[in-house]
Amino acid sequence: MTLLLHPTKIKRVLFGYWLMVPLLFGVYILTLATVKQVSVGTVFTSIPSLTLTSIVVLLLFFQLFGLYIMNNSSDCRHSLLGFYLKFNMVQQLLSVNIPGFIICLLFYRSLLDAKEVVVLPKQVQWTVYGLMGFVGLLTILILWVRSSL
C-alpha cells in the first residue's frame, strides 16, 4: 500500500486526472454539438450551466500548470507544494469535484511531515500564489453566479 501512496505516483495520477478531465469534457461538448447538429457556441449559449462547468473544468489547466512548475519542490507537507495541495482540496470541494479532492487528499497525505528542504525561486513562488489567487477568485465568482441561477 505504501508503494501505491508514493508522492511521485500520486502526483502522476493527479497530473493525469487534471489533464484528462478537460480533454474529455471537450470531447463531450463536441459530441453534444454534433448530435444536436448545432455549433459549439450555440450549445454554450443554450445551456448556461454547461458554460459555468466549462470554466471550472478549464481551471484545471491552470492548476495543472501550478503543479508542473513546482516540479522541483520538496515532498513535504509544510512546503509550498503542501499549501498548494490544501488550497486545491478546498477548490475541488467547492466545485464539487470529489475525485479531484480525493486524489489531492491522498497526495497531501503521502507527503512527508517535515519542513521544506528545497526553496523555490521567488518567481515560481509568486507565480504559484498568483495562480491560486486567480483560481480562487474565479471559483468564488462561479459559485456566486451558479447560486443565482
pLDDT of residue 3: 53
**Percent of the residues in the chain that have a pLDDT greater than 70, as a whole number:** 95
For residue 75, is pLDDT > 80? no
70 in any annotated domain: yes
pLDDT tens, residue by residue, 85-141: 999 999 999 999 999 999 999 999 988 887 766 678 889 899 999 999 999 999 999
Query: Residue 42 belongs to what domain range?
Result: 7-148
Supply the pLDDT for residue 8.
Answer: 80
Tell whether 126 is covered by a domain.
yes
- Residue 102's alpha-carbon distances to 35, 72, 74, in angstroms, are 33, 23, 21
What is the number of domains present in the chain?
Answer: 1
Q: What's the confidence (pLDDT) of residue 4?
A: 59
The residue behind cell 480525493 is 102
Q: pLDDT value at position 135?
A: 96
- What pLDDT was estimated at residue 116? 66
**pLDDT (0 to 100) of residue 2:** 53
Q: Please give the Cα distance from 20 to 102 (Å, whole number).
A: 16
Lowest mean pLDDT among 28-32, 35-39, 78-82, 104-108: 78-82
Residue 1 lies in a domain: no
Residue 147: its pLDDT value, please?
A: 87
pTM for the full model?
A: 0.87
**Selection from 149, 135, 43 nearest residue 95 by Cα:** 135
Q: Give the chain's mean pLDDT.
A: 89
> Does the residue 48 lie in any domain?
yes
Per-residue model confidence (pLDDT) at position 80: 87
